[in-house]
């Protein structure tokens, strides 16, 4: 009995490992295909155009029409549409005969209320428009928020900014108001803090109450990765916490977000890194610097090329690359510079590819390469 159970467990774990496959869209010899994280082709380059996977399906073109393929490269939805967008929340927006509509993975059309414009689903909801006002529908095609607001931005952490008249607030995916539209500006929702502007004053929301911070003229969004975000006062930048307290006084010309305990800071024309106590850990000597990845490596730039340093400031990958985010004009949400899950997307000699933490090229170089996507979601 124990042997049977062990075999079943191994089978389950093996199935999970297979289902968690990550694929990257690449362009080679003017055709698009997909590679895995070992640099092997899972789907050979064969498509005129293609997009990154959005979950288990990816948009691809054949004979000037768009359809959707699975991770084996098989057509799940035959190429029949003039334009398509990525799947989100189980639905994709497609254009057929000059009409936009929603389809699911079985190519079935979702019936929805009348709308002046068809918007992508996001976090299980989509915007509908009636004249100048907008509301929300769910994935059943049912209205959960009647069109009454002037604007609703994209959802982050299950919340979206909405505009009512000339002021902004936050609502959740049920269409419920979480932060009333009482502010000239409001930040994205984060468990670590929310900033807002009321009149000319910038501050943070503490238990729903606006708390201004004296002298601040801009605050950037909190993320869920750090309890600190950056703010500007008298043309200098530092870091505040969710209570609106200066943790690191504004002393820098530019800064970027904390991750892995360090943040890039700029003094004059040079960049370095500080820790969350405000102590300089890596001297300001680089022409540019991006945030640290979770693996403890960060891109730094000298002259025109980038390399990677560790948290001690040691250059572990030489300055010989270019780095960027989106290549094909359909930048994926959440795309980052630097290492993601052990690989970094880089450019060298006008070609794109992936390097590992030792600086070794994984697979080969391509005309273009997009970020890896988890196809199990």
Indicate the Cα dihedral angle 117, 123, 125, 130, nearest 10°.
Answer: -40
**Segment (H or E) for 32:** strand 31-35
Tell me the per-residue pLDDT of 323-346, one tens digit each, with 9 for 90 and over: 865 443 333 333 478 999 999 999
Percentage of the chain beyond pLDDT 90 is 90
Burial 32-62, CB ≥16 within 10 A → b, else e: bbbbbbebeebbebebeebbbbbbbbbbbbb
Around Cβ 217, how many Cβ atoms within 10 Å? 14
pLDDT at 224: 81
pLDDT at 20: 62
pLDDT at 225: 87
Tell me the per-residue pLDDT of 286-309, one tens digit each, with 9 for 90 and over: 999 999 999 999 999 999 999 999
Contacts of 285 (CB under 8 A, 6+ apart): 270, 271, 272
pLDDT band at 15 (very low <50, low <70, confident <90, very high): very low
Half-sphere exposure of residue 85, counting CA atoms within 13 Å on the CB side? 19
Around Cβ 18, how many Cβ atoms within 10 Å? 10
Quickly tell me which residue has 């009333």 as its tokens. Answer: 180
Report d(CA 51, CA 25) in Å as an integer. Answer: 7
């Amino acid at each position: 009995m124990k042997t049977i159970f062990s075999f079943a467990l191994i089978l389950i774990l093996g199935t999970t490992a297979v289902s968690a496959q990550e694929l990257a869209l690449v362009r080679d010899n003017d055709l698009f295909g997909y590679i895995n994280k070992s640099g092997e082709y899972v789907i050979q380059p064969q498509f005129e155009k293609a997009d990154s996977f959005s979950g288990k399906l990816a948009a691809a073109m054949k004979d000037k029409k768009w359809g959707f393929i699975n991770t084996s490269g098989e057509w799940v939805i035959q190429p029949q549409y003039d334009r398509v967008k990525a799947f989100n929340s189980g639905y994709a927006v497609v254009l057929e005969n000059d009409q936009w509509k929603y389809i699911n993975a079985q190519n079935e059309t979702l019936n929805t209320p009348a709308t002046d414009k068809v918007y992508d689903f996001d976090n299980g909801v989509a915007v509908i428009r009636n004249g100048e006002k907008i509301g929300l529908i769910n994935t059943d095609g049912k209205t959960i928020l009647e069109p009454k607001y002037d604007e609703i931005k994209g959802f982050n952490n299950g919340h979206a900014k909405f505009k009512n008249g000339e002021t902004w607030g936050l609502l959740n995916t049920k269409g419920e108001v979480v932060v009333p539209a009482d502010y000239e500006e409001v930040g994205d929702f984060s468990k670590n803090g929310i900033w807002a502007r009321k009149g000319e004053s910038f501050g943070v929301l503490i238990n729903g109450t606006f708390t201004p911070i004296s002298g601040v003229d801009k605050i950037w969004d909190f993320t869920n990765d750090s309890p600190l975000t950056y703010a500007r006062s008298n043309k200098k930048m530092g870091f505040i916490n969710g209570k609106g307290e200066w943790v690191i006084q504004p002393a820098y010309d530019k800064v970027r977000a904390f991750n892995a305990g360090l943040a890039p800071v700029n003094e004059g024309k040079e960049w370095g890194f500080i820790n969350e106590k405000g102590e300089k850990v890596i001297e300001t000597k680089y022409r540019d610097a991006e945030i640290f990845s979770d693996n403890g490596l960060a891109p730094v730039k000298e002259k025109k090329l980038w390399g990677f340093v560790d948290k001690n400031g040691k250059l572990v990958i030489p300055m010989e690359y270019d780095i960027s985010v989106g290549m094909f004009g359909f930048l994926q949400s959440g795309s980052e510079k630097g290492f993601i899950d052990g690989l970094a997307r880089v450019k060298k000699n006008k070609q794109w590819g992936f390097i590992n933490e030792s600086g070794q090229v994984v697979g080969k170089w391509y005309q273009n390469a997009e970020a890896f996507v988890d196809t199990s979601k």
